[in-house]
């Protein structure tokens, strides 16, 4: 499964993040029959009602698509964890020498994994050495856990990778929600709020878009949580699909990755290069 890279440019005034991401999604999305869709209506603006969804799109043959967006909130204690995380792992995102051409790599670090009381600068150097040593051996597609050696404590990271053709490569570092954190409750709250709005809107298909702004929860974890709650919230099954968009580098570099996470794992995804924040598509 390869990842299409799509240039996105808009001369229209920038609106709220949620509707901008919906517009970007529609630029790259095709349904199971290859249809593309264009934004047709903004019920939340036209009706000014809390229960109105954000967007209705329509294909050339008249099929309608209802869309709703929700942001995944960061975990408790995120700010305290940000300093050690950024000191150790920000280099992966900012050092262009570490990327691999035509590859997307996301190094996902469990929250609070970088301990206090250690020299974070030295840990950062060990992380760099480890990454340079093993990056060529990362799986071509999927995810795998690694233990970074010689840092003075057990430091496990999850690496998610796949092909990103015709690019310089993209390397991210993000955080996994803490073990035991009630992520399922986060998903359930989102479903309870968003699903009734979607299924209450007349449409041929319905898509829920989760935005992950940098605290990565892992696509498989989203999918598992959705599977768990479809029995408690059976109306969820009436959604056509759920997608996640990773926006950690959206406004800094113009990068936004859209991945279908439910139902089933199909590997369906596309990469948007937003020209409003990045002048060119990476080459």
Q: Where in the chain is the domain with CATH 3.40.1350?
A: 29-73+186-250+258-264
Among residues 138, 128, 88, 132, the alpha carbon closest in space to that of 110 is found at 88
Among residues 116, 89, 102, the alpha carbon closest in space to that of 215 is found at 89
* More confidently predicted of 225 and 259: 259
**Quick one: pLDDT at residue 1?**
61
DSSP helix/strand/coil, 137: helix
Buried b (16+ CB within 10 A) or exposed e, 172-191: bbbbbbbeeeebeebbbebb
DSSP helix/strand/coil, 84: helix
For the stretch 46-69, pLDDT in tens is 776 667 899 999 999 999 999 999
CA-based max dimension of the chain:
62
pLDDT of residue 216 exceeding 70: no
DSSP run (H or E) holding 199: helix 183-199
Domain 29-73+186-250+258-264 sits in CATH 3.40.1350: yes
* More confidently predicted of 264 and 206: 206
Buried b (16+ CB within 10 A) or exposed e, 54-73: bbbbbbeeeebbbbbbbebe
For the stretch 96-106, pLDDT in tens is 899 999 999 99
Instruction: State pTM to two decimals.
Output: 0.74
Please answer whether residues 36 and 176 qualify as being in contact, where contact means their C-beta atoms are separated by less than 8 angstroms.
no
**Quick one: pLDDT at residue 218?**
64
For the stretch 232-281, pLDDT in tens is 788 899 999 999 998 877 888 888 989 998 987 777 889 899 999 874 44
């Amino acid at each position: 499964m390869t990842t299409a890279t799509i240039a996105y440019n808009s001369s229209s005034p920038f609106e709220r993040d949620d509707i901008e991401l919906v517009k970007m999604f529609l630029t790259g999305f095709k349904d199971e029959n290859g249809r593309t869709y264009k934004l047709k209506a903004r019920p939340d603006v036209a009706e000014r009602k809390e229960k109105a969804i954000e967007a209705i799109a329509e294909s050339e043959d008249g099929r309608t698509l209802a869309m709703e967006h929700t942001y995944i909130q960061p975990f408790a204690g995120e700010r305290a964890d940000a300093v050690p995380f950024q000191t150790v792992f920000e280099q992966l995102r900012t050092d262009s020498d570490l990327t691999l051409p035509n590859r997307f790599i996301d190094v996902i670090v469990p929250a609070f994994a970088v301990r206090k009381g250690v020299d974070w600068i030295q840990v950062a150097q060990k992380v760099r050495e480890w990454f340079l040593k093993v990056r060529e051996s990362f799986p071509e597609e999927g995810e795998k856990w690694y233990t970074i050696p010689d840092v003075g404590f057990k430091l496990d990271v999850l690496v998610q990778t796949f092909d990103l053709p015709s690019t310089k490569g993209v390397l991210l570092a993000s955080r996994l929600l803490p073990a035991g954190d009630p992520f399922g409750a986060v998903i359930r709250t989102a479903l309870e709020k968003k699903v009734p709005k979607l299924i209450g809107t007349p449409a041929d298909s319905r898509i829920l878009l989760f935005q992950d702004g940098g605290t990565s929860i892992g696509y498989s974890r989203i999918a598992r949580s959705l599977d768990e709650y479809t029995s408690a919230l059976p109306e969820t099954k009436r959604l056509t699909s759920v997608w996640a968009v990773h926006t950690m580098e959206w406004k800094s570099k113009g990068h936004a990755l859209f991945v279908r996470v439910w139902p089933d794992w199909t590997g369906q995804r596309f990469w948007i290069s937003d020209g409003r924040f990045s002048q060119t598509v990476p080459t």
